[in-house]
Amino acid sequence: MDVVTSDSQGNGDSGPSDTVKIPERPLKRDQLRLEDVERRKEAKESLSVTEERSEFFSSTFKSERLAIERLLSACSEDDCAFATQTLEEVTLKTQQLQKFLNDSMTFLTQYELRQAQASLQKLQTSLAEKREVVLPKKKFAFRSRNTGASNPKVTAVVANSPASATSVDSGGVKLLGTSHLDQCGFSHISSQTLIKSAEEIQKQDVLLTHLTNCKVRLFGAPSTLHVKHVRDCEILCGPVSSSIFVDHCTNCVLVFPCQQLRTHNTTDTEVYLHVTSRAIIEDCQRVRFAPFSWSYPGLDSDFLVSGLDQNRNNWTQVDDFNRLATSTPSPNWTVIPEPDRRNDWDV
């Protein structure tokens, strides 16, 4: 028999009484069975939680999407001020909806994810089309400007390939360019001053790539701005209606307003920023921030075209994706002290 019980009527000198010894094999079998039951219970609870979270996401996403669509429908070119305010609100809500989707990806099915992404893309397209219709277009006119003897001449390159450019002297500023550009922006240029007018970049996607020791001035309101592989450059841009993407930027000064800023692989760079949502940095070191301080004729009009709110600037709200702990400040970015900030940006 496998169970041994001591004799309760014994003379008491053979060990403790009423002791039961349970064999090891049945005990392990019972433990495995209990663990299996617990795993099944946890799996069921996890499935229930996932289904609840998926249902919550679907209802919330749909509700927010419909609210954004109603705002877009209410926009009219008859009331420019109201349209500008509404489009800024739509831009912010769309960005928040994108973040909500990003935060929910871990439990969404591939079908749900594709459907949500398609809906977001449709909203963004509708927003761009509505902005193009209801907001007034900036009227552009060439203005001559006399330059005194104290101002040096500036070489302004307005083409991607300076080797194929022709020169025209204009008010002390040498313009190198062609009338038809393959790409809106500049690439593979060193030690030049690069200028684009509002008419060239208005509502365009602008790309600046592989620039070294250049001064860049972008007047107007582009749709997006991409800055990649630049070194020792000073880049100033008018209001960007959506996002600015910065990647592999070293020892530069960047000055621009935008709806959102995403910065990657950037070091020793100063950013004079106006941002209506938040700035994001990742894999960056020694990045310093200050409020946007550039001004030029037509800036207010460009803000109007972009749909950005001039009165809302979240330049100190920087999210460092390499610094998840919020209890201590990120070591990767700081604020430029007021005495050290620049305000004079003349070429």
- In this prediction, residue 274 carries a pLDDT of 96
Task: Please state, for a pLDDT cut of 90, what percent of the chain lies above it.
Answer: 34
Q: 201 and 320 share a domain?
A: yes
Q: 130 and 169 share a domain?
A: no
- Residue where a domain stops, chosen among 134, 167, 195: 134
- In this prediction, residue 341 carries a pLDDT of 95
What whole-number distance in Å separates Cα of residue 261 and Cα of residue 256?
A: 10
pLDDT tens digits, 63-99 = 889 999 988 888 877 777 788 888 888 888 888 888 8
Binned at pLDDT 50, 70 and 90, residue 51 comes out as low
- Structural domain contains residue 7: no
Q: 173 and 314 share a domain?
A: yes
- Structural domain contains residue 171: yes
Q: 90 and 161 share a domain?
A: no
Q: 129 and 176 share a domain?
A: no
CATH number at residue 120: 1.20.58.1250
Residues 261, 275: contact at Cβ < 8 Å?
yes
Q: 129 and 161 share a domain?
A: no
- Structural domain contains residue 333: yes
- In this prediction, residue 254 carries a pLDDT of 98
* Helix axes 24-74 and 110-134, enclosed angle (nearest 10): 20
Binned at pLDDT 50, 70 and 90, residue 206 comes out as very high
Residue length of the chain: 347
Q: 102 and 181 share a domain?
A: no
- Structural domain contains residue 13: no
- Structural domain contains residue 120: yes
Helix (H, G, I), strand (E, B) or coil at 95: helix
Q: 178 and 298 share a domain?
A: yes
Q: 236 and 98 share a domain?
A: no
- Structural domain contains residue 210: yes
Residues 272, 318: contact at Cβ < 8 Å?
no
- Secondary structure of 24-85 in the HEC alphabet? HHHHHHHHHHHHHHHHHHHHHHHHHHHHHHHHHHHHHHHHHHHHHHHHHHHCCCCCHHHHHH
CATH number at residue 204: 2.160.20.70
Q: Which domain holds residue 164?
A: 155-340
